[in-house]
């Protein structure tokens, strides 16, 4: 437990936020600091074939201690943190033997982590929680995953009596801005399948995610003195509002759950002469996903007829539902389920309402379900992680390695 705490805290105190406005990989220079530390640490604990490439992708090997050949399994996590909330000067707080009440994160700012709002806290009564100090995010997404993978490898190296095949691990930059798998060399990694340690609540096991696209709508208006604007002014702001008003109001993030898809307007700027807004399109069903994209094109065309062709739309697919790549090798999900049950965890199998590096990796030829890392309330000041959940994630990694080593393939 203390090893997990110390390692995790050492990681989260290093600012590794990624930057979507940057074209470099990694998108921020500061990600290199933790990347270099991780390389040194992997060498120190005794991992083999430790490499880091020009884009800060880290790979390493735990050699097989079996005489027979079994599939090569990988474990992957990302070391960048979200640009949505500051990660400068993270000051983690350790709450021992959580009593189930409010946790004052920051008395000066009256920032309180309360089970009255975050009910999941009550699942961890009596456990050790690591929280923020209310001024930054924590970084459990996904430094908890990195901690768990390194601790599991260290444990296996110290316990050669646990038989396992060749294990590959990988740490990536820029996952939080959707680029974590862009430069990932699947062939070099050389695993038959892998797991991202990037889920939330203990027990989560996910092999479905959204199909995703991003769209940008641009509206060019005409500014005319409002006193003389009859049949002359084209107000780009009003047309943008008209466009958004046609979108189904019940199909937004705040109105949907489970496998329900949505449209989400997440950025807008405008004046009479020019308005732009961006939105994301999400749906677990590929056919419904295509219908959603077509609706945006249809709205654009309809408003162009009404307003004289002043709208344009740019749209790009981001990632797809990995289910179609994982289902043909579903035994890899069953392997993770068996490992969880073997260490006393009830699996929670559900679709991800988001994306994961595993999606892109699955479509690049590396099937890659997602396993819990234990954190909650990612990307903000209320983020926390139970240490016991991280310990269980370590147990799951070790058990998967052991199970693969003992299976007949």
Please state the rounded mean pLDDT for residues 336-341. Answer: 97
Residues whose CB is less than 8 angstroms from the CB of residue 86 and which lie 6 or more positions away in sequence, other chains included: 17, 135, 136, 137
Q: Are 133 and 93 in contact (CB under 8 A)?
A: yes
Sheet strand arrangement including 193-199 = 48-52, 58-62, 167-172, 73-78, 193-199, 370-372, 204-206, 348-349
* 261 alpha-carbon distance from chain centroid: 18
Closest CA to 212 of 260, 290, 283, 264: 283
Tell me, yes or no, whether 259 and 303 share the same domain: yes
Tell me, yes or no, whether 188 and 242 share the same domain: no
Q: Which domain holds residue 312?
A: 218-318
Choose the final residue of a domain: 318, 335, 367.
Answer: 318
Is 119 part of a structural domain of the chain?
yes
Q: Are 275 and 236 in contact (CB under 8 A)?
A: yes
- What confidence tier does 263 reach under pLDDT thresholds 50, 70, 90? very high
Residues belonging to the active site: 80, 175
pLDDT at 409 over 80: no
Q: Are 277 and 225 in contact (CB under 8 A)?
A: no
Tell me, yes or no, whether 105 and 158 share the same domain: yes
What is the tens place of the pLDDT at every residue in 31-57?
Answer: 999 999 999 999 999 999 999 999 999
Q: Are 343 and 392 in contact (CB under 8 A)?
A: yes
147, burial (CB in 10 Å: exposed 0-12, middle 13-18, buried 19+): buried
Sheet strand arrangement including 384-386 = 93-95, 129-131, 384-386
Span between the terminal Cα atoms of the chain, in Å:
34
The predicted structure's pLDDT at residue 355: 80
Tell me, yes or no, whether 222 and 339 share the same domain: no
Cis peptide, bond prior to residue 142, ω within 30 of zero: yes
Angle at 176 between CA 192 and CA 387, to 5 degrees: 80
- CATH code (residue 35): 3.40.630.10
Tell me, yes or no, whether 35 and 172 share the same domain: yes
Please state the rounded mean pLDDT for residues 306-328. Answer: 95
- What H or E segment, with its residue span, contains residue 71? none
* 307 alpha-carbon distance from chain centroid: 40
The predicted structure's pLDDT at residue 43: 98
Helix or strand or coil: residue 112?
Answer: strand
Tell me, yes or no, whether 129 and 203 share the same domain: yes
The predicted structure's pLDDT at residue 407: 82
Please state the rounded mean pLDDT for residues 157-167. Answer: 97
Is 348 part of a structural domain of the chain?
yes
What is the tens place of the pLDDT at every residue in 50-99?
Answer: 999 999 999 999 999 999 999 999 999 999 999 989 999 999 999 999 99
Tell me, yes or no, whether 151 and 46 share the same domain: yes
The predicted structure's pLDDT at residue 356: 84
Pairing of strands 167-172, 48-52: unpaired
Cis peptide, bond prior to residue 262, ω within 30 of zero: no
Choose the final residue of a domain: 256, 287, 318.
Answer: 318
Tell me, yes or no, whether 87 and 24 share the same domain: yes
Is 142 part of a structural domain of the chain?
yes
Torsion 53-149-163-43 (CA) sign: positive
- What H or E segment, with its residue span, contains residue 164? none
Integer Cα distance of 278 and 270 in angstroms: 12
Is 213 part of a structural domain of the chain?
no
The predicted structure's pLDDT at residue 26: 97
Choose the final residue of a domain: 254, 289, 318.
Answer: 318
Tell me, yes or no, whether 140 and 182 share the same domain: yes
How does the average pLDDT of the chain come out, rounded?
96
Tell me, yes or no, whether 185 and 269 share the same domain: no
pLDDT at 209 over 80: yes
C-alpha dist (Å) from residue 178 to 82, 233, 296, 318, 357 = 11, 39, 22, 8, 8
The predicted structure's pLDDT at residue 354: 83
- How many domains does the chain contain in total? 2
pLDDT above 90 as % of the chain: 95
- CATH code (residue 230): 3.30.70.360
Integer Cα distance of 360 and 346 in angstroms: 27
Tell me, yes or no, whether 228 and 108 share the same domain: no
Q: What is the largest CA-CA distance in the chain?
A: 86
Please state the rounded mean pLDDT for residues 180-187. Answer: 95
The predicted structure's pLDDT at residue 408: 65
* 252 or 178, which is more confident: 252
What is the tens place of the pLDDT at every residue in 287-303?
Answer: 999 999 999 999 999 99
Please state the rounded mean pLDDT for residues 106-112. Answer: 95
Is 125 part of a structural domain of the chain?
yes
Is 68 part of a structural domain of the chain?
yes
What is the tens place of the pLDDT at every residue in 351-392?
Answer: 999 888 899 999 999 999 999 999 999 999 999 999 999 999
Integer Cα distance of 30 and 10 in angstroms: 15
Tell me, yes or no, whether 241 and 361 share the same domain: no
């Amino acid at each position: 437990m203390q090893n997990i705490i110390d390692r995790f805290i050492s990681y989260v105190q290093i600012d590794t936020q990624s930057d979507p406005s940057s074209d470099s990989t990694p998108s921020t220079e500061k990600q290199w600091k933790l990347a270099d530390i991780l390389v040194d640490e992997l060498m120190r604990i005794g991992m083999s074939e430790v490499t880091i490439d020009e884009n800060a992708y880290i790979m390493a090997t735990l050699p097989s201690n079996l005489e027979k050949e079994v599939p090569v399994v990988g474990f992957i996590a990302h070391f960048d943190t979200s640009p949505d909330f500051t990660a400068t000067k993270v000051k983690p707080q350790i709450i021992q033997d959580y009593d189930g009440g409010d946790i004052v994160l920051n008395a000066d700012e009256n920032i309180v982590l309360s089970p009255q709002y975050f009910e999941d806290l009550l699942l961890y009564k009596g456990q050790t929680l690591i929280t923020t100090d209310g001024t930054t995010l924590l970084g459990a997404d996904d430094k908890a995953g990195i901690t768990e993978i390194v601790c599991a490898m260290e444990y296996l190296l110290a316990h050669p009596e646990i038989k396992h095949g060749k294990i590959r691990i990988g740490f990536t930059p820029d996952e939080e801005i959707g680029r974590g798998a862009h430069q990932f060399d699947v062939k070099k990694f050389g695993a038959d399948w892998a797991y991202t340690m990037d889920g939330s609540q203990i027990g989560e096991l996910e092999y479905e995610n959204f199909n995703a696209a991003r769209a940008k709508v641009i509206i060019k208006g005409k500014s005319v003195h409002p006193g003389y604007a009859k049949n002359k002014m084209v107000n780009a702001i009003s047309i943008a509002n008209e466009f958004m008003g046609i979108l189904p109001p019940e199909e937004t993030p705040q109105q949907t759950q489970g496998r329900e898809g949505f449209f989400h307007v997440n950025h807008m700027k405008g004046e009479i002469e020019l308005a732009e807004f961006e939105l994301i399109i999400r749906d677990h069903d590929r056919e419904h996903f295509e219908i959603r994209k077509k609706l945006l094109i249809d709205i654009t065309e309809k408003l162009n007829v009404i307003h004289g062709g002043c709208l344009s739309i740019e749209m790009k697919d981001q990632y797809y539902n990995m289910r179609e790549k994982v289902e043909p090798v579903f035994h890899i999900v069953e392997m993770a389920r068996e490992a969880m049950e073997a260490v006393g965890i009830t699996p929670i199998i559900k679709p991800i309402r988001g994306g994961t590096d595993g999606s892109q990796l699955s479509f690049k030829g590396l099937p890659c379900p997602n396993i819990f890392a234990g954190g909650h309330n990612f990307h903000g000041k209320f983020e926390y992680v139970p240490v016991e959940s991280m310990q269980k994630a370590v147990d799951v990694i070790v058990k998967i390695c052991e199970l693969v080593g003992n299976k007949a393939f």
